A and B are shown apart, each in its own frame.
Chain A
Amino acid sequence: MTNGDPLSETGDRPDQAGAAPPAARPPRLFALLLKDRVACLAALMLLAVAACAVAGPFLLGDLATRQNLHAVDLPPFTLDNGWAFVLGSDSLGRSVAARLVVAARTTFAVAVPAVLASFVVGSAWGMWAGYHRGWRESVSMRIADVVLSFPSLLLAVVVLYVFSPSVATLVLVLAIARVPVYLRTARAESAELRSRLFVDAARTFGARGGSIIRRHVAPTVMPTLITVATLDFCFVMLTESSLSFLGIGIQPPDLSWGLMVAQGRQELQTAWWIAVFPGLAIVMTTVSATTLASWARLATDPAQRWRLTVPRGRARATARRAEEAGR
């Protein structure tokens, strides 16, 4: 009662019928999103990137691979050479803008399945281990420790040297390397939830572990895990770029943002835009995803949703106080 949720002091509704105000319907998610400008921007950003990844390669044809030795290392931000070179060109005269769009597809084709796979496997495993405790928890955590203690880059290098580097193996390796991240988070949260009273309550009805996990644990843990997943998205993209740089990730002529950063790095002194724009793309995608995730975390929680609708600013109240003091 002394701190935290300010509504605890005022949120009590009348106990008796009749006196109660009509229950406010929870606002629609979309309407909530429109109200939050930052989250809205992040959503638009992600939509644009996704649209590029899906439709871009068809629209651009071979623009991304067409070499033009008369237009080598053109600087960005000028329309002298046409729209295609608005972000400059690389050392072979290829349009950076077009390459960015095409690379989005490969980047997503690696990062999205890898993140999804590790997310699903790690979360389910972690919730199961955390809920049941005991040996299941111990064994799971030791496995996670082993995988994590092995540098994921090294693991990837070994595996990719043995098998031929392809998008599929890349996804598999990245997914396995990232499972422990979700496993650990899900286990910790689920073990904590297990001691919550409402889980106890479900046990008194005779509900089984599986149904408690589905009904009570998963919905509560999910927002945290989604936040972890968006952060991990960035990590996976960067790992992919490191592998591509080492020559065992995406193989040219395929393209990814990571590969573009890697290739542009040698020319950072003379043509910074080749490395910087794909880097920016990675950063902006990640930031957008993280912003949207933290917004969704609040918006999907009935107990927290009100925070999104609190009027901002204390200017008025402070002004009134000053006025009062002046009198």
Chain B
Amino acid sequence: MPETTAPPVGPLLRASGLTKSFRVPRSASGSTSLRALDGVDLTLDRGETLGLVGESGCGKSTLARVLLMLERPDRGTLSFDGTDPFALRGKQLLAWRRRVQMVFQDPFASLNPRLNAAELISEPWRTHRDLVPRRDRAERVRRLLEMVGLRAGDAHRYPQEFSGGQRQRIGIARALALDPDVIVCDEPVSALDLSVQAQVLNLLAELQAELGVSYVFISHDLSVVRHVADRVAVMYLGGVVETGSTEEIFTNPRHPYTAALLSSAPSPLRSDAPSRERILLTGEVPSPVDPPSGCRFRTRCRHSEDLCSRTAPPVEAVSGDPAHTAACHFPLGPASAGSGASGG
């Protein structure tokens, strides 16, 4: 049931109950299904940055692909400005695609090595032909290059002649070429060096202030997320286990997984490194082909009880703040993991 009647005021993007499974071959005969997303609810406001954290296989990349309409969800709805983009066809669909763009993790693989910077940046206009008149394109490319801190003279250079940071700038310019409302940034700085990473993060912040664009910022680096995000959603095995404002999540995590994640992330700025108590999770993330019953996290959780294996915990507001929700039967107390997480 598409929620096409959502009020125009409200979040820019609302996802509810998104579920997506893939068929994967299990043996020579027959296949089984891998549940990459399992009932994901999310909202994104105009001009906001939503941080999406979680380990590989948690479904954040699939979520990004659904938001970009590269995958169609099996169940659940996506509402963008009150419209369900999956119900659109033809020209309307093309016009919608323009509004959500992506910056990729790997600045090496996401740029075709056979095209130069100008061709790369103007590539979206080959599909959206009416957006920028042909005679203005060279000028627009120049402006975009300057906007992301490159020189107009770089237009005719090929990706491999640029450094990683510069390549990521080209990727950002390409995402901006269609003047989008939302940019999904999939680990945009994880392939970059520290000093370059700072420059790219600053650039993203400047562009947001200037253009009012919203970001969905996917990252495994918690210190980066803490720096850029207004709100954070923590994902584990296809589901969102905790959401809240960045400050709340980092200083007062209520889901045991969030607490463990925060405590295993190393930081060079922490002087108490050796003495700090660490929640070292045992084992690895279970296979999404065969997820645990009840609570997904229970196999690695120190607080799990019988109830956790029987029923999946509902998503509930914790700490009296309606914006801070967690999916846990036994959420941590307000002070429990605060010490491990607040360093830095």
Q: Which A residues lie at the B interface, using CB under 8 A? A: 7, 11-15, 17, 20, 23-24, 26, 196-198, 200-208, 211, 215-216, 219-220, 301-303
Contact = CB atoms under 8 A, between A and B. Distances in A.
A201 B102 contact: yes
Nearest to A11: B160
A102 to B, nearest CB: 42
Given A200-B110, A201-B102, A206-B94, A12 B163 contact: yes
Given A206-B94, A219-B114, A302 B160 contact: yes
Classify the interface of chain A: helix, strand, loop or mixed: loop
Contact of B196 (A15, A200, A205, A208): A15
Nearest to A214: B126
B98 A206 contact: yes
B153 A13 contact: no
Nearest to B161: A23
Contact of A198 (B109, B162, B165): B109
B173 interface: no
B128 A205 contact: yes
Nearest to A200: B70
B97 interface: yes
B68 to A, nearest CB: 5
Interface in B212-240: none
B113 A303 contact: yes
Interface of B: 68, 70, 93-94, 97-98, 100-102, 104, 106, 109-114, 123-124, 126-128, 151, 153-154, 156-158, 160-166, 171, 174, 178, 196, 199
Contacts of A15: 163, 165-166, 196, 199
A197 B160 contact: no
A303 B94 contact: no
Given A200-B110, A205-B128, 17 more contacts: A11-B161, A13-B163, A23-B156, A26-B158, A197-B106, A197-B109, A198-B109, A198-B112, A200-B104, A204-B97, A205-B98, A206-B98, A207-B124, A208-B127, A216-B112, A302-B113, A302-B158
B112 to A, nearest CB: 4
Contact of A301 (B94, B98, B114, B166): B114
A263 B309 CA distance: 83
8 contacts: A11-B161, A13-B163, A26-B158, A198-B112, A200-B104, A205-B98, A205-B178, A302-B158
A207 B127 contact: yes
Contact of B124 (A12, A14, A205, A219): A205
Contact of A201 (B113, B161, B174): B174
Contacts of A200: 70, 104, 110
B157 to A, nearest CB: 5
Nearest to B94: A206
B162 A13 contact: yes
B166 A207 contact: no
Nearest to B65: A200
Contacts of B123: 202, 205, 207, 215
**Top-5 shortest CB links A-B:** A206-B97, A12-B163, A205-B124, A197-B110, A197-B109
Given A13-B162, A204-B70, A197 B113 contact: no
Contacts of B164: 12
